[in-house]
Amino acid sequence: MSARNPGTELDLEWISKVKVNTQAVLKRAQQIQGHKLLKKQWQAAWLLKAVTCIDLTTLSGDDTPSNVHRLCLKAIQPIRVDLLQKMDMHDKGVTTAAVCVYPSRVADAVATLKAANSSLPVASVATGFPAGQTPLETRLQEVRLAVADGATEIDIVINRTLALTGQWKAMYDEITQFREACGHAHMKTILAIGELGTFTNVYKSSLVAMMAGSDFIKTSTGKESVNATYPVAIVMVRAIRDYYLSTGHKVGFKPAGGIRTAQESLVWLSLMKEELGHDWLTPHLFRLGASSLLADIERQIYHHVTGQYAAYHQLPMA
Ligand SMILES: O=C[C@H](O)COP(=O)(O)O
């Protein structure tokens, strides 16, 4: 990953002045969705780029060592070798950006990746994911344990109660403690935008998370009724841009939850390129949190290479 965001003092004056123009946000999101998408080899190249930005995720109550094992093998070899060979990409080390699992499955993922001689990062959700409604000491301990088990990225959830009641200083203090508990592990801060009520709250929460030292801000857990949407992404990436212009620190962005199609992944890449520029088009600053997106991307690549659509059983999935 790139240089970390060290965070800043909490700037309550900046936070109190925040106002978001809802109509302008909705219009910009519509514009981006209306752009013509790339075709043929250019589309295939962008789809491979999207693959390298995926945090390949399983966050289910019935996760076991064996499905985490399969997930890791899929992350190491996300696209069939014969398809990559046809694109002359078989020796370019195409993998997903990371795997993402619950804390109790971190050790399983680390063991599989180690056995496969892979340095792919293991990310873990923590801090009472998805609701964040456990005591602070429990949430901190969860971060420490996931790091001790070998997670090098931690996806924390914010305390929505604090955001909804405007307790920005308390939210800042909690997130700085999470950052300390992460140590060398990079921290992605999940805002759970579907529970924040307004765009203004989303922007303010983004700023507080970045001031508290988040390496990434992330839209959603995938468990709220509204997850990654383009309008909310506009609000968050503009907060990232404003924070960068004000501090010189680049913070990454991770939309997550409900992203299922190759076409959506192209829209997300286009949004990043237009709003933040090329620097944000790498796994260091952009991730797609998704459990089933990879299947559709691999199908589209299969179609690009063979001219036919694969049945799902022809493409091994995690
Ligand atoms: O952080 C990632 C999300 O939990 C994945 O959500 P999804 O299962 O809707 O792709």
Question: Which value, in Å, is the radius of gyration of the alpha carbons in the chain?
Answer: 19
Mean pLDDT of 180-198: 97
In this prediction, residue 317 carries a pLDDT of 65
Domain chopping of the chain, boundaries: 12-314
- pLDDT tens profile 103-120: 999 999 999 999 999 999
CATH of 12-314, one of 3.40.50.720, 3.20.20.70, 3.90.1150.10, 1.10.510.10: 3.20.20.70
Is pTM beyond 0.95? Reply is: yes
> What confidence tier does 242 reach under pLDDT thresholds 50, 70, 90?
very high
H or E element that contains 253: strand 252-254
252 C-beta closer than 6 A to ligand 1: no
| Residue 40 confidence (pLDDT) above 90 | no
Is 40 among the catalytic positions?
no
Are residues 57 and 190 in contact, defined by beta-carbon separation less than 8 angstroms?
Answer: no
- Please report the atom of ligand 1 found closest to the CA of residue 291: 10
- Nearest one of 109, 56, 129 to 283, comparing CA atoms: 56
In this prediction, residue 318 carries a pLDDT of 44
| Residue 207 confidence (pLDDT) above 50 | yes
Percent of the chain with pLDDT over 90: 93
> What confidence tier does 33 reach under pLDDT thresholds 50, 70, 90?
very high
DSSP notation for 74-105: HHHS-S-HHHHHHTT-TTS----SEEEE-GGG
Query: In angstroms, rounded to a whole number, what is the distance separating the alpha carbons of residues 221 and 208?
Result: 18
Distances (CA, A) of 184 to 147, 154, 275, 306: 9, 10, 29, 44
222 C-beta closer than 6 A to ligand 1: yes
- pLDDT tens profile 269-295: 999 999 999 999 999 999 999 999 999
53, 54, 59, best to mutate for ligand 1 pocket (most atoms within 8 Å of CB):
59
Q: Which residue's CA is minimally distant from atom 10 of ligand 1?
A: 290
Q: Which two tokens stand for residue 127?
A: 């801090």
